[in-house]
Amino acid sequence: MTGRDGGADLHPIGNSPVVILVRPQLADNIGACARAMANGGLFHLRLVAPRDGWPQEKAWRTASGADRILEAASVHDSVADAVADLHRVFATCPRPRHIVKPVLTARGAAAEMRVIAERALSAGILFGPERAGLDNDDMAQADALVRYPLNPAFMSLNLAQAVMVMAYEWWTAADDTPGRVLMTNETKVATKGRLENFLTHLTDQLDACGFLRNLPKRPGMVRNIRHLFQRGEVTEQELRTLHGIVTELAIGRRQRGRLETEDGSFDPETKGPSGREHA
Amino acid sequence: MTGRDGGADLHPIGNSPVVILVRPQLADNIGACARAMANGGLFHLRLVAPRDGWPQEKAWRTASGADRILEAASVHDSVADAVADLHRVFATCPRPRHIVKPVLTARGAAAEMRVIAERALSAGILFGPERAGLDNDDMAQADALVRYPLNPAFMSLNLAQAVMVMAYEWWTAADDTPGRVLMTNETKVATKGRLENFLTHLTDQLDACGFLRNLPKRPGMVRNIRHLFQRGEVTEQELRTLHGIVTELAIGRRQRGRLETEDGSFDPETKGPSGREHA
């Protein structure tokens, strides 16, 4: 049943959990679920008594290319039939009910499903119909309930969105992307020595133009400028750009200084000694 | 601009990040985004140059009741205008580009946005148009990029799904629901003493019916039964049910024993001493 949905273009994970849509109503929701599943690396879809029958052309239109998941989907008369070959079953359950069962967050369920997959066992997760959700008999088929932490004042979650959150957590549970990295691509992060070269260039030019002429305040001002450039990682390319900016501004100032010495719009008093260039 | 979307029915978080849809194409996607925002406790929506103008009736149909978010949405000519009053801007970016900026996961971005909100600063997150995504000029307006860890072989993420993942992470970042709990509702988890009472009742009846007649194996069998019931938390209600099951099975056996002593289908040899009842 799950043999054909392992297309090379979807990078299937052999033992990924089965998504079981129980009595789904709208075919375009089924397609949107398949798309969300592909996003998160879930590839096994089962449909229990889809209201309008199966297959439905509409589903392919909203699947945005996750066709293999739809093609490999199996149809079942009952939840019991759909879970018969599985080892562990989770049921998504937005509202609290009087059932004594473990209740997991989506993240908690994803972590458990990863452990189950590592043991080469099969897990499935039940999603109820669009309006009513899973009924008590459906939930009695499950080992554990999954309740997403979401705004309790607005729990109306679209079916494909519910699948998306679970698929996202499934993928994330095995993902080790750091929460924050600097993307540098071809360019390299500059060494502190190169940053220092630039700060020296900048300070020299600021001395030259008179910006740092208040000697008592000078150390603090230089320190503030240093803090500004130390705040994030600066790349070598950015340092080259900054050197260029400072050099060009200084040249422009000196040229303007020559051209506009009689022009009140530019005060030559603020100019420092000229002729200092960055080595 | 964000004053009216604070309806009591949506439990707004005053300083929640602004969702900025850049050149969105389909009004029903805008509505679905509003619904996802409400699910995750995001209430401030801005639209940059929506293709078909604004407002669009279709959006209200897919918002499933998140009307206040749509009603309070503001429309802007440019990204620069939409972010002008914000302190920090994130840009969702599914594909790697040659941009030197911090890149965060959705979870990493949510954590940073929580810190920003705690400092009473305003954050915004840019989502690009359905087909093309954000362009380089859009991303240059952002302090950091957000790239979701998802199946790299199938990155085609629906706009509302992209908003859903971010809204879900925003909510989850401030949520302390344990990953796994036992939902017991009215009934209480049984104490070990009450579990022991039941195990004694069960063992007595198993002795009585002869199930434990192999004395060398008896300790191991009793231990295995104990393990079975110790595996998860058992509630008081469940223990009452189990007591009832054991008692009724034992009564049935004794009655059958009386009625069917001459019947080969029931071997009276395996019956233990009768008359032992659970106190």
What is the tens place of the pLDDT at every residue in A45-79?
Answer: 999 999 999 999 999 999 999 999 999 999 999 99
Best B26, B68, B139, B165 residue to mutate vs chain A (most A CBs within 10 Å): B165
Q: Are A150 and A157 in contact (CB under 8 A)?
A: yes
pLDDT at residue B96 tops 80:
no
| Rounded (5°) CA angle A225-A227-A230 | 115
The DSSP call for residue A270 is G
Among A41, A183, A235, select the one facing B151 at the smallest CB separation.
Answer: A41
pLDDT confidence band for A183 (50 / 70 / 90): low
pLDDT (0 to 100) of residue B7: 38
pLDDT (0 to 100) of residue A109: 96
pLDDT (0 to 100) of residue A65: 93
Among A104, A145, A171, select the one facing B150 at the smallest CB separation.
Answer: A171
Chain-wide mean pLDDT for chain A?
83
The DSSP call for residue B8 is G
Q: What is the CA radius of gyration of chain B?
A: 31
CB half-sphere exposure, B185, CA atoms < 13 A: 10
Q: Backbone dihedral region of B99: left (phi > 0), alpha (psi from -120 to 50 degrees) or beta? A: beta
Angstrom distance (rounded) from CA A119 to CA A124? 15
Sort strands B18-22 and B44-48 into parallel, antiparallel or unpaired.
parallel
Q: How buried is A269 (Cβ within 10 angstroms: 0-12 exposed, 13-18 middle, 19+ buried)? A: exposed
Here the tokens at position A263 are 């022009």
pLDDT at residue B162 tops 90:
yes
- Size of the A and B interface in Cβ pairs below 8 Å: 180
**pLDDT tens digits, residue range B184-237?**
555 677 888 889 999 999 999 889 888 899 999 999 888 888 888 877 778 888
Among A9, A172, A183, select the one facing B103 at the smallest CB separation.
Answer: A183
pLDDT at residue A95 tops 70:
no
Q: Is A151–B107 a contact, with Cβ atoms under 8 angstroms apart?
A: no
pLDDT (0 to 100) of residue B184: 55
**pLDDT tens digits, residue range A216-232?**
999 988 888 888 887 77
Close Cβ partners of A187 (under 8 Å, ≥ 6 residues apart)? A235, A236, A237, A238, B100
**What's the sign of the alpha-carbon dihedral A272, A273, A274, A275?**
negative
Sort strands A101-104 and B180-183 into parallel, antiparallel or unpaired.
antiparallel
Close Cβ partners of B221 (under 8 Å, ≥ 6 residues apart)? B212, B214
Here the tokens at position B254 are 């004794």
pLDDT at residue A144 tops 80:
yes
Residues of chain A contacting residue B158, judged by C-beta atoms under 8 Å apart: 32, 35-36, 64, 160
Among B41, B104, B184, select the one facing A100 at the smallest CB separation.
Answer: B184
Angstrom distance (rounded) from CA B75 to CA B82? 8
Residue ranges of the alpha helices (H) in chain B?
27-39, 57-62, 67-72, 79-83, 106-118, 136-140, 159-173, 192-209, 218-230, 236-259
Angstrom distance (rounded) from CA A64 to CA B35? 21
Residues of chain B contacting residue A185, judged by C-beta atoms under 8 Å apart: 96, 98-100
Strand partners, B87: none
**pLDDT tens digits, residue range A54-63?**
999 999 999 9
Compute how many other C-beta atoms are within 10 angstroms of the C-beta atom of residue B50.
22
- Search chain B and give the residue with CA nearest A154: B39
Q: Residue A34: what residue type?
A: A
Close Cβ partners of A101 (under 8 Å, ≥ 6 residues apart)? A139, A142, A143, A144, A145, B182, B183
Residues of chain A contacting residue B108, judged by C-beta atoms under 8 Å apart: 178-180
CA A225 to chain B, closest CA, distance in angstroms equals 20
Residues of chain A contacting residue B11, judged by C-beta atoms under 8 Å apart: 151-154
Give the length of chain B.
Answer: 279
Angstrom distance (rounded) from CA A225 to CA A221? 6
Q: Are A190 and A234 in contact (CB under 8 A)?
A: yes
Q: Is B156–A39 a contact, with Cβ atoms under 8 angstroms apart?
A: yes
Strand partners, B90: B125, B144
Smallest CA-to-CA distance from B162 within A168, A149, A64 is with A168
- Search chain A and give the residue with CA nearest B38: A154
- Search chain A and give the residue with CA nearest B110: A179
Backbone angles phi, psi at B45, to 5 degrees: -115, 135
pTM: 0.79
Smallest CA-to-CA distance from B133 within B166, B96, B108 is with B96
- Search chain B and give the residue with CA nearest A102: B182
pLDDT confidence band for B268 (50 / 70 / 90): very low
